Structure 1
Amino acid sequence: MFKRLSTKLLNITIASLCRTKQLEKAETAIIDGIRLGILPDVVTYNTLMTGYCRVVGFDAGYSILQRMKEAGVNPDVVTYNSLMAGANRQSSLFQCFDMLEEMLNMEIVPDLWSYNTLMHSFFRSRKPDEAYRVFQKIILQNISPCQATYNTLINGLCKNGYISNAVSLFRNLRSYGYLPEIITYNILINRLFKSGEFTSAMKLFDELRDSGYVPNAITYTTVMKYCFRRKYINKGLEFFFEMKSRGYTYDAFAYCTVVGALLKSGRIQDANKCMTNMVKNGYELDVVSYNTFINMYCKEGKLEDAYQLLDKAEKRGLDCDKYTHTILIDGLCKAGNIDGAKRHLNYMKMLGFDCLVALNCFINGLCEVGQIDYALKIFQSMDVKDSFTYSSLIQNLCRVKRFHQASKLLLSCIRAGMRILRSDQRAVVNGLNLLGLKNDAAKLAVEIQTAKLLHY
Structure 2
Amino acid sequence: MFDRLSTKLLNISIASLCRTKQLEKAEAAIIDGIRLGVLPDVVTYNTLITGYCRFVGFDAGYSVLHRMKEAGVNPNVVTYNSLMAGANKHCSLSRCFDLLEEMLNIEIVPDLWSYNTLMHCFFKSGKPDEAYRVFHKIILQNISPCQTTFNTLINGLCRNGYISNALTLFRNLQHYGYIPEIVTYNILINRLSKSGEFWAAMRLFDELRGSGYVPNAITYTTVMKYCFRRKYFNKGLEFFFEMKSRGYTYDAFAYCTVVGALLKSGKIQDASKCMTDMIKNGYELDVVSYNTFINLYCKEGRLEDAYQLLDTAEKGGLECDKYTHTILIDGLCKAGSIDGAERHLNYMKMMGLDCLVALNCFINGLCEVGQIDYALKVFQSMDVKDSFTYSSLIHNLCRARRFHQASKLLLSCIRAGMRILRSDQRVVINGLKLSGFRNDAAKLALEIQMAKLLHY
Give me the TM-score of the superposition, normalised by structure 1: 0.96
1:438 Cα deviation from its structure 2 partner: 3.4
Q: Report the Cα distance in structure 2 between the residues aligned to 1:95 and 1:381, rounded to whole angstroms.
A: 46
Q: Report the Cα distance in structure 1 between the residues aligned to 2:118 and 2:281, rounded to whole angstroms.
A: 43
DSSP 3-state at the match of 2:39? coil
Cα distance per residue 1:285-308 (max 9 Å; x no partner): 222111111111100111111111
- Using the TM superposition, name which of 414-423 and 276-285 deviates more: 414-423
The question of 1:21 aligning with 2:21 is answered yes
Match of 1:368 in 2: 368
Amino acid at match of 2:236: G
Q: Report the Cα distance in structure 1 between the residues aligned to 2:448 and 2:285, rounded to whole angstroms.
A: 48
1:283-298 equivalences in 2 (<5 Å): 283-298=283-298
1:214 Cα deviation from its structure 2 partner: 0.3
Match of 1:410 in 2: 410
Does the CA contact (< 8 Å) of 1:182 and 1:213 recur in 2?
Answer: yes
1:331 Cα deviation from its structure 2 partner: 0.1
The question of 1:194 aligning with 2:199 is answered no
Amino acid at match of 1:113: W
Cα distance per residue 1:40-61 (max 9 Å; x no partner): 1111111101101111111111
The question of 1:309 aligning with 2:277 is answered no
1:20 Cα deviation from its structure 2 partner: 1.0
Match of 1:3 in 2: 3
Q: Report the Cα distance in structure 2 between the residues aligned to 1:443 and 1:196, rounded to whole angstroms.
A: 36
Match of 1:112 in 2: 112
Match of 1:130 in 2: 130
- Percent same amino acid among aligned pairs? 87
Match of 2:357 in 1: 357
1:435-446 equivalences in 2 (<5 Å): 435-446=435-446
1:433 Cα deviation from its structure 2 partner: 2.7
Amino acid at match of 1:146: C
1:43-58 equivalences in 2 (<5 Å): 43-58=43-58
Does the CA contact (< 8 Å) of 1:88 and 1:117 recur in 2?
Answer: yes
Alpha carbons of 1:345 and 1:135: their partners in 2 closer, same or farther (altered >3 Å)?
Answer: same
DSSP 3-state at the match of 1:172? helix
DSSP 3-state at the match of 1:270? helix
Amino acid at match of 2:284: E
Amino acid at match of 1:38: V
1:327-366 equivalences in 2 (<5 Å): 327-366=327-366
Match of 1:259 in 2: 259
1:104 Cα deviation from its structure 2 partner: 2.6
Does the CA contact (< 8 Å) of 1:122 and 1:131 recur in 2?
Answer: yes
Q: Report the Cα distance in structure 1 between the residues aligned to 2:442 and 2:103, rounded to whole angstroms.
A: 66
Alpha carbons of 1:137 and 1:444: their partners in 2 closer, same or farther (altered >3 Å)?
Answer: farther
Match of 2:324 in 1: 324
The question of 1:388 aligning with 2:388 is answered yes
Amino acid at match of 1:452: K
1:21-170 equivalences in 2 (<5 Å): 21-170=21-170
Alpha carbons of 1:140 and 1:413: their partners in 2 closer, same or farther (altered >3 Å)?
Answer: farther
DSSP 3-state at the match of 2:134? helix
Q: Report the Cα distance in structure 2 between the residues aligned to 1:71 and 1:416, rounded to whole angstroms.
A: 62
Q: Report the Cα distance in structure 2 between the residues aligned to 1:452 and 1:156, rounded to whole angstroms.
A: 36
Alpha carbons of 1:133 and 1:408: their partners in 2 closer, same or farther (altered >3 Å)?
Answer: farther
Alpha carbons of 1:381 and 1:33: their partners in 2 closer, same or farther (altered >3 Å)?
Answer: same
Amino acid at match of 1:286: D
Match of 1:224 in 2: 224
Q: Report the Cα distance in structure 1 between the residues aligned to 2:176 and 2:418, rounded to whole angstroms.
A: 45
Q: Report the Cα distance in structure 1 between the residues aligned to 2:176 and 2:345, rounded to whole angstroms.
A: 57
Q: Report the Cα distance in structure 1 between the residues aligned to 2:230 and 2:442, rounded to whole angstroms.
A: 35
Give me the TM-score of the superposition, normalised by structure 2: 0.96
DSSP 3-state at the match of 2:183? helix
CA RMSD after TM alignment? 1.6
Amino acid at match of 1:226: Y
Q: What count of residue pairs does the alignment treat as equivalent?
A: 456
Does the CA contact (< 8 Å) of 1:329 and 1:345 recur in 2?
Answer: yes
DSSP 3-state at the match of 2:436? coil
Amino acid at match of 1:322: K
Alpha carbons of 1:88 and 1:411: their partners in 2 closer, same or farther (altered >3 Å)?
Answer: farther
Alpha carbons of 1:116 and 1:344: their partners in 2 closer, same or farther (altered >3 Å)?
Answer: same
Alpha carbons of 1:115 and 1:410: their partners in 2 closer, same or farther (altered >3 Å)?
Answer: farther
Spell out structure 1 runs of 4+ moving beyond 4 A.
none
